[in-house]
Amino acid sequence: MANTPSAKKAARKIEARTEVNKSRRSRVRTFLRKFEDAVASGDQAAASLAFKAVEPEVMRAASKGVFHKNTASRKVSRLSARLKSMSA
């Protein structure tokens, strides 16, 4: 348990940041699920729209520190590859 005032404040800040990050991670997962559903249905137009929505969300999460930037880039790259393979 935190004893000093600065440690107590740090604990409060961590708790607040955890809530924000949880929300952001959940939002990204929702967009990813929509993309997965569009790909599974085989609808290329819907998948393209879903990709255009999910890509900025993933990158925003990376810029906010929810994901590492390389992780975000890898995810976007793999999603892009899946979208491209649908058209082939």
What's the pTM? 0.84
Contact status, residue 64 vs residue 24, Cβ threshold 8 Å = yes
Tell me how far apart the alpha carbons of residues 63 and 28 are, in angstroms, rounded to a whole number.
13
Helix (H, G, I), strand (E, B) or coil at 21: helix
Q: What average pLDDT does the segment 46-63 reach?
A: 96
Q: pLDDT digits over 13-44, tens only? A: 999 999 999 999 999 999 999 999 999 999 99
Mean pLDDT (the chain) is 95
